[in-house]
Chains A and B, each alone.
Chain A
Amino acid sequence: AQSVSQHNHHVILSEAASLELGCNYSYGGTVNLFWYVQYPGQHLQLLLKYFSGDPLVKGIKGFEAEFIKSKFSFNLRKPSVQWSDTAEYFCAVNEGSNYQLIWGAGTKLIIKP
């Protein structure tokens, strides 16, 4: 069965630090990849997604992610974090458009002001 691994369950950074959250998946075929974010007290919302084409995907709020097929990875990055980026981040994968998402366990990000 396909699985998604997010290696860091908790990350604490200071404002202006650079961010990289890891995501690895196990499926070897064609995949669609997603990052979702859940801000405190808010609903889950889509940050960015990859379906095909340029493996470097840009999302909202300055986030980007790079799909590296050979490493089965889809890491999330932001060059300079802000206090408002404090949230829980989820990586998700599907193995085709007709299938539902398989989710990672999430990474709680805390930004110190």
Chain B
Amino acid sequence: KAGVTQTPRYLIKTRGQQVTLSCSPISGHRSVSWYQQTPGQGLQFLFEYFSETQRNKGNFPGRFSGRQFSNSRSEMNVSTLELGDSALYLCASSLGPGTGGNNEQFFGPGTRLTVL
């Protein structure tokens, strides 16, 4: 069974640009969550999509947005990039929404975004 895949793996952008990251969940998983990981900060939750609907959102500015398609693939967009957006962006998929019960999240390798 293929794992969670994220593209691209590495990205370099300049301030003010926008970027789109993609996540393909494990087959059959309908929930996709996005996290930002920075050194010393751990993971910060961005948002979660389930059945094409955003069901939960973290404390990030409106420049961060996402969507989910009917095949459960998800994209995340960051507009007007700032230097502080440099981070590893992780995607996690699970069968259902939330993190309760046996609803384990499986993580992808991440997209390393560098903003210059």
Q: Which residues of A contact B100 (CB under 8 A)?
A: 32, 51, 94, 96-98
Q: Which residues of B contact A4 (CB under 8 A)?
A: 42
Which B residues are in CB contact (< 8 Å) with A97? 98-101, 103
Report whether B33 and A100 are in contact in the complex, using a CB–CB cutoff of 8 Å.
yes
Q: Which of B35, B45, B58, B97 contacts A98 (CB 8 A)?
A: B97
Evaluate contact between A99 and B43: CB separation under 8 angstroms.
no
How many B residues are at the interface, by size bracket?
Answer: 20 to 34
* Residue A9 CB within 8 A of the other chain: yes
Q: Is B40 an interface residue (CB 8 A)?
A: yes
Interface-lining segment among A12-20, A39-47, A61-69, A76-84: A39-47
Residues of chain B within 8 A of A49, CB atoms compared: 104
How far is B98's CA from A73's CA once the two chains are assembled, in angstroms? 22
B104 and A46 contacting across the interface, CB-CB below 8 Å: yes
Q: B108 within 8 Å of A by Cβ?
A: yes
Cβ of B3 < 8 Å from any Cβ of A? yes
Known pairs A43-B3, A100-B33; A51 contacts B45 (CB<8 A): no
A43 contact from B99, B101, B108, Cβ within 8 A: B108
Q: What chain A residues lie within 8 Å of B106 (beta carbons)?
A: 43, 45
Is B42 a contact of A43 with CB atoms below 8 Å?
A: no
Residues in A with CB closer than 8 Å to B71 are: none
Give bound CA distance, A34 to B45, whole Å.
15
When C-beta atoms are compared, the residue in chain A nearest to B40 turns out to be A105
**Are A103 and B99 interface neighbours, CB within 8 A?**
no
Name which residue of chain B comes closest to A91, CB basis.
B42
Report A's interface with B, CB cutoff 8 A.
4, 6, 9, 32, 34, 43-46, 49, 51, 90, 92, 94, 96-106
Sample (13) of A-B pairs whose CB atoms are under 8 Å apart: A9-B40, A32-B99, A43-B3, A43-B106, A46-B105, A90-B42, A94-B100, A97-B103, A98-B97, A99-B99, A103-B35, A104-B42, A106-B42
